[in-house]
């Protein structure tokens, strides 16, 4: 991983934050998300942070309760952060790889804590899930199935990276029911306005 600096937390709303870094090995930016309510903070697809930002997380109120990894490619700094923060890691069983730290398998429809809801996305990367969160608004955090960066814009994971492209597109239609007001990505800036209509328009294409 290559970057000019280790990333800092960027606050998006009172209950959400992101941090990002450019990964030269895959020639794209990696994004990580933090979500919280009054009872817990959760990290999704975390990448490394500055020591100051890590100290901020360690003393966060509410405290970090766990880490969620959205697919087989997104283990990133989850193992090191889980050890540093003394929290468990959760991921779909099919996200397992030789680089994966110990984790608790997730099932479709499972809830974590008081506000996270897991939706499996078939046909994308192995172990792909989306995380639906009910915080100050309804937020969806996606792994690789949806992206939002140039030159692609807001669109589907390119076909060549999918295990079954048509199945992935059908599976993503479940997200429309969430009526999301924000979408965060593992690759790309979040969408924070006209979100539900943009998602529905994308999923209706083709």
Q: pLDDT tens digits for the chain (206 residues)?
A: 334 446 788 999 999 999 999 988 778 899 999 999 889 999 999 999 888 888 888 888 899 999 999 999 999 999 999 999 999 999 999 999 998 999 999 999 999 998 999 999 999 999 999 999 999 899 999 999 999 998 899 999 999 999 999 999 999 999 999 999 999 999 999 999 999 999 999 999 85
The two structure tokens encoding residue 27: 């020639």
Under 8 Å between Cβ of 44 and 68 = yes
The pLDDT, as a whole number, for residue 172 is: 97
The pLDDT, as a whole number, for residue 110 is: 97
Residue 150, helix vs strand vs coil: coil
The pLDDT, as a whole number, for residue 94 is: 97
Would you list the domain boundaries of the chain?
10-203
The pLDDT, as a whole number, for residue 3 is: 42
CA 127/CA 114 separation, integer angstroms: 23
Task: Identify the CATH assignment for 10-203 out of 3.60.15.10, 3.40.190.10, 3.40.50.970, 3.30.1450.10.
Answer: 3.60.15.10
* pTM, to two decimals: 0.94
The enclosing H or E element of 57 equals helix 51-58
Under 8 Å between Cβ of 196 and 181 = yes
The pLDDT, as a whole number, for residue 99 is: 86
């Amino acid at each position: 991983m290559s970057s000019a600096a280790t990333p800092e937390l960027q606050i998006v709303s009172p209950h959400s934050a992101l941090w990002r870094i450019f990964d030269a090995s895959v020639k794209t930016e990696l994004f990580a998300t933090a979500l919280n309510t009054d009872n817990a903070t959760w990290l999704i697809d975390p990448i490394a942070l500055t020591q100051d930002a890590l100290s901020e997380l360690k003393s966060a109120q509410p405290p970090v309760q766990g880490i969620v990894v959205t697919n087989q490619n997104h283990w990133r700094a989850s193992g090191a952060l889980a050890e540093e923060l003394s929290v468990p890691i959760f991921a779909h069983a099919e996200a397992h790889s030789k680089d994966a730290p110990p984790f608790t398998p997730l099932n479709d429809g499972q809830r974590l804590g008081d506000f996270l809801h897991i939706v499996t996305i078939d046909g994308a990367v192995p172990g792909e899930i989306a995380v639906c969160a009910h915080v100050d608004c309804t937020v969806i955090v996606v792994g690789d199935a949806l992206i939002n960066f140039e030159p692609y814009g807001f669109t589907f994971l390119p076909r060549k990276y999918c295990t079954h492209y048509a199945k992935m597109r059908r599976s993503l239609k479940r997200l429309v029911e969430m009526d999301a007001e924000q979408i965060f990505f593992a690759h790309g800036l979040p969408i924070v306005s006209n979100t539900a209509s943009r998602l529905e328009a994308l999923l209706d294409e083709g």
